[in-house]
Structure 1
Amino acid sequence: MGVSEHIARAFAPVVDLVFPPRCPLCGAGLAAQDGLCAACWSELAIPGEPCCALCQRPIASDAAQDGTICAPCLATPPRHDGIAAATLYNPASRKLILSFKHGRKIALAPMMARLIAARLPQTVGPDWLFVPVPLHRWRLWRRGFNQSALLAREMARLRRGHACVDTLVRRKATPSLGGLGRKARRRALSGAIALAPQWQARVRGARVVLVDDVLTSGATSDACVAALRRAGAEQVVIACFARVADEALTGQAGDPQAYNETR
């Protein structure tokens, strides 16, 4: 345990006295500052089996077998080496993400990172690089932080890997991708994401966890994976807090417009 963690534990009772722990979703009282109440935990949709052998997209079919590949992956085989999603995108996960990003509740990062890290393969460890999906400089300036970078730092700490928050750069601002078709999304992202030159040698042959808060169409993560592959990354696993997969939810499908609100 590091010095900062010892200090945090020592002052925890004082913090709890001044700011009583509350559930960030419903406001109910909690025993500690870093979680949700039992009722809100139960509202999160956790991905399960059966799922796609390539992308881990949940497959809502009793007939699915080990090794089953989903239709999107059959149509376009992914360039990544798997997806680790802490939750499926539903009203509960959406509220957490909006509070985290637009509500500036960055103290949610450790809890959200723990949930994502728990879904990563056990092979992900000290020699892996944790690289966040980049924000354009203007959006970073307006928001004040890159939410994916905060998650990447926490996950690197949990898995004792290397947080590499400036590995990828977004060279141009891109419009919202909601409602765009595959070709239009590809055009919008063409040339938008690149590897920072100083990371070229470090990424070549490396194993990388690409970190994002929400995985929607996958267009942005695909552009990031492509940049990492061009730089010679050996493996790239995508990790996110919430994944849009309405077909795996029963009665919880989100409004497609709401996906854009979380960007």
Structure 2
Amino acid sequence: MDAEPTSSSRSIPARLAGVLSACRDAWSHASKLALDVALPSLCVACREPVEGEGVCADCWAKLSFIAPPFCPRLGIPFVYDPGPDMLSMEAIANPPAYARARAAVRYDDVARTLVHALKYQDRTDLAPAMGGWMARAGRELLGEADVLVPVPLHWRRGWSRRYNQSGALARIIERHTGVTVAAEALRRIRPTEQQIGLSRPQRASNVQGAFKVAPDRQHLVAGRRVVLIDDVLTSGATVDACARALLRAKAKAVDVLVFARVVDGHRTPI
């Protein structure tokens, strides 16, 4: 009969595994340190070296962060403080389906660079900084939110891009706030043309009826306060169509949080 292995012999593989694991951890740490030295952090906009994460001083100075006073409904910045609860003329003349909208920055040249890189150039490394700024800008909305819903892509466009930039931003905001992302709650049920170059009425017509909450997904939004996440708000046609679909699915309320919004007088091509 074979002899039973002793306790000391049985412990050798475990000890060896522990040593190997410690070596792997040390190697991983050393490799990361070497990469940090060899590849310093770069500005998310211009790619110049910068200490820490974020944007360089020049690009930071060019970003136009939106702060009060602004329209409590649309989040459009006011030139002066008109007093509490004063709505913008746009909110009065054309009230949206959603309750409130907030944006981190104006859609200017630096913001446009960030948005286009995230959306079209696979620069998902930009999402943490952009999503963090959104989380700060949307504190009021996110503090009352039950669920985050990113504006969806049609499956064909999602296949070609490989990811949804709004979903990437929503996941960063989830990490900052703990509010759950319901990425599959809202679907784009038909492909739409690019909104670039379309007039306001054409944009609204383009996305009319393009979004739907499937019956088996209504439980994700019914009776809940939803914050709709997108990268840019231009005319508001897309988020308005999304909000209507969510409200038809019995959402309690829908707010909108975007990285950048176009402000009249500061329009750049999108």
TM-score range, shorter chain: 0.7 to 0.9
Distance 1:22 1:178, change over 3 A: closer
RMSD between aligned residues: 2.1
Distance 1:132 1:236, change over 3 A: same
TM-score computed with the length of structure 2 as normaliser: 0.83
The reply to whether residue 41 of structure 1 matches residue 60 of structure 2 is yes
Cα distance in 1 for partners of 2:234, 2:41 equals: 32
Residue in 1 that maps onto 2:74:
55
Deviations 1:86-130 (A, max 9, x none): 100000100111111212110111111000000113462496211
Quote how far apart the aligned CAs of 1:161 are.
1.0
Counterpart of 2:205, as a letter, is R
Question: Number of residue pairs matched?
Answer: 242
Task: Determine helix, strand or coil for the equivalent of 2:110.
Answer: helix
User: What is the correspondence of 1:1-263 to structure 2 with a 5 Å cutoff?
Assistant: 12-32=32-52, 34-60=53-79, 62=80, 64-122=82-140, 124-125=142-143, 128-247=146-265, 253-255=266-268, 258-259=269-270
TM-score computed with the length of structure 1 as normaliser: 0.85
Counterpart of 1:31, as a letter, is E
Task: Determine helix, strand or coil for the equivalent of 2:142.
Answer: coil
Cα distance in 1 for partners of 2:106, 2:210 equals: 27
- Are the counterparts in 2 of residues 128 and 207 from structure 1 also a CA contact under 8 Å? yes
Quote how far apart the aligned CAs of 1:216 are.
0.7
Distance 1:75 1:117, change over 3 A: same
- Are the counterparts in 2 of residues 171 and 193 from structure 1 also a CA contact under 8 Å? yes
Cα distance in 2 for partners of 1:108, 1:222 equals: 26
Quote how far apart the aligned CAs of 1:19 are.
2.6
Task: Determine helix, strand or coil for the equivalent of 1:142.
Answer: helix
Greater Rg, structure 1 or structure 2? 2
Deviations 1:127-156 (A, max 9, x none): 621110010111111111100001111101
**Gap regions ≥5 residues in structure 2:** 1-27
Task: Determine helix, strand or coil for the equivalent of 2:103.
Answer: strand
Cα distance in 2 for partners of 1:157, 1:130 equals: 12
Cα distance in 2 for partners of 1:226, 1:75 equals: 18
Cα distance in 2 for partners of 1:196, 1:240 equals: 24
Identity across the alignment (%): 35
Distance 1:123 1:237, change over 3 A: closer
- Are the counterparts in 1 of residues 135 and 142 from structure 2 also a CA contact under 8 Å? no
Cα distance in 1 for partners of 2:212, 2:181 equals: 18
**Gap regions ≥5 residues in structure 1:** 1-8, 248-252
- Are the counterparts in 1 of residues 104 and 260 from structure 2 also a CA contact under 8 Å? yes
Cα distance in 2 for partners of 1:156, 1:88 equals: 23
Counterpart of 2:39, as a letter, is F
Cα distance in 2 for partners of 1:133, 1:148 equals: 6
Quote how far apart the aligned CAs of 1:77 are.
1.9
* Greater share of helix: 2
Counterpart of 2:49, as a letter, is G
Deviations 1:33-66 (A, max 9, x none): x311122111100112321122121122x36222
Cα distance in 2 for partners of 1:17, 1:142 equals: 35
Task: Determine helix, strand or coil for the equivalent of 1:73.
Answer: helix
Cα distance in 1 for partners of 2:143, 2:177 equals: 5
- Are the counterparts in 2 of residues 55 and 83 from structure 1 also a CA contact under 8 Å? yes
Cα distance in 2 for partners of 1:232, 1:22 equals: 44
Where do 4+ consecutive residues of structure 1 move more than 6 Å? none
